[in-house]
Structure 1
Amino acid sequence: MRRLEPKPVARIWGGSGLGFGPGIGEVWLAEAPLLVKLLDPADWLSVQVHPPHEYALRVEGKPGKYEAWYVLSPGELVYGLARPVSREELRERALAGTLEEVLRRVRVEPGQVLYLPAGTIHALGPGVRVYEVQTPSDLTYRLYDYGRPRELHLEKALDVAILEPTPLTLPPPEPVLGGERLLSTPFFDLLRYPLAGELRVRAEGPTLLTLLEGEARLGEEVMRPPATLLLEPGEEAVFRGEGLWLAALAKEGA
């Protein structure tokens, strides 16, 4: 078992709600075996898309990117398209600045989970803080950036974008010892563990545990958000206190 140190990252869209000062858009909690972050946008993130493994390996020579969000604060975000579009229409709208007319805006609430398979067009809106888990890849194609002077990757984004609405619903949580499995994907699982008194967590595989709320004790050590631990397969941890843990379980192929 290993304690990981958070790494604050400044972003042009960063807010001040993560406890590391203004302009900090991301706090990286772990970089392997999965990339786990907290995000706090004060402005809209770019409208972007991530490539699937097959495309990324062929074009970029490295794996693609699949991710999920656990919502920490309410607000609005972009999740896919509002209706089917052609590649040509998507290109024209991105260049003309009218892309927002075909994006699907979704209101989200704390505790909601959204899976973002590769190819899903997406963007976080102002004030929507999230816990983000993703395969450890840095491949992001910007499709639209609200006129900000940053590089776009229009043709590559069009190559991989899903050109029809992406289903938003997830199956109900599955009970597990001490908590519940919120999401299961081919690359990672997301689990939630409420802490009320005592909690025992046993890692099914490489597991990143992050304390999101409250205070937890592990032996004599006192932990507060966003404390993050890496548990190896088969390791157990027994916590005492009051709070909420999220766990990202890495699978083969992540």
Structure 2
Amino acid sequence: MLTPVRPCVLKPVPRIWGGSGLGFGPGIGEVWLCEAPLLVKLLDPADWLSVQVHPPHAYALKVEGKPGKYEAWYVLSPGEIVYGFSRPLDLEEARRRAQEGTLDEVLNRVRVAPGQVVYLPAGVVHALGPGVRVYEVQTPSDLTYRLYDYGRPRELHLEKALEVALLEPTPIPPVFPEPVPGGERLLSTPYFRLDRYPLKGRLALRPEAPLVLTLLAGEAALGEETLRPFATLLLEAGEEALLEGEGLLLGASPKAS
């Protein structure tokens, strides 16, 4: 039986670094598409985001009493990001550079292109650059340690960040897409999967696990409803949806432990 339309409610979130490229007005840095079972967002930075790191589960459970954070980006517009360091650092140099404002000199900056997938496991120091809009999927956790913020007057979490950060060059993991019904699997991590579905006419989906489905481009009909970017639906395991139209969708699903 085809599932009825149950759209997620999109939540625009103002940020001091927010741009105006998501269609929700100026200063909107994030649009939350879904919060459970995964947190799925769009990000639109007009300025560099803070350089940050997320703790792994074991550390987060011990120190914060809640799970850590793992995430991935699907790049929507080109630009530059920070991913790890350009050379190994010891703890004292990393601390000194963060305190004196020279950490930027040893960050690894990488050009990214639309359609690229960037996995960000806990421990990887990272930041989004100006104009790099991304779709972000993450475990439903808010644990972020800010390591460096380009002199902006916001709280840093220096010691915790240094306890969990990988202080060495960390290559972006390669992506090897694999076929799945209706599309391709771009990423499979211990915590979530990310699939891409081109819509060319009709697309029938019946996921084996909950699936957060977002229309990134084009237009689709689901029953009597017309979907446009960035419409997001949550399909439960075993529910079936039939979409018709032209466009591109991403689907994020949690991975059973």
TM-score, normalised to structure 2, is 0.97
Amino acid corresponding to residue 67 of structure 2 in structure 1: P
Aligned to 1:145: 149
Q: In the TM superposition, what are the counterparts of 1:134-173 in structure 2 within 5 Å?
A: 134-173=138-177
2:239 maps to 1:215 = no
Alpha-carbon distance in structure 2 between the residues aligned to 1:202 and 1:165? 40
Query: Structure 2 regions of 5+ residues with no counterpart?
Result: none
Q: 1:90 aligns with which of 89, 94, 110?
A: 94
Runs of 4+ in 1 over 4 A off after TM superposition: none
Aligned to 1:228: 232
Aligned to 1:244: 248
Could you tell me whether the CA contact under 8 Å between 2:119 and 2:173 is conserved in 1? no
Aligned-pair distance for 1:171? 3.6
Alpha-carbon distance in structure 2 between the residues aligned to 1:138 and 1:171? 26
2:184 maps to 1:180 = yes
Aligned to 1:113: 117
Alpha-carbon distance in structure 2 between the residues aligned to 1:204 and 1:225? 25
Could you tell me whether the CA contact under 8 Å between 2:204 and 2:242 is conserved in 1? yes
Could you tell me whether the CA contact under 8 Å between 2:117 and 2:175 is conserved in 1? no
- Tell me which moved more, 228-237 or 111-120: 228-237
Aligned-pair distance for 1:252? 2.8
Aligned-pair distance for 1:7? 0.2
Aligned identity (percent) is 77
- Tell me which moved more, 77-86 or 33-42: 77-86
Amino acid corresponding to residue 69 of structure 1 in structure 2: W
Alpha-carbon distance in structure 2 between the residues aligned to 1:217 and 1:80? 42
Partner of 1:101, secondary structure, is helix
Partner of 1:4, secondary structure, is coil
Aligned-pair distance for 1:160? 0.2
TM-score, normalised to structure 1, is 0.98
2:126 maps to 1:122 = yes
2:13 maps to 1:17 = no
Could you tell me whether the CA contact under 8 Å between 1:80 and 1:120 is conserved in 2? yes
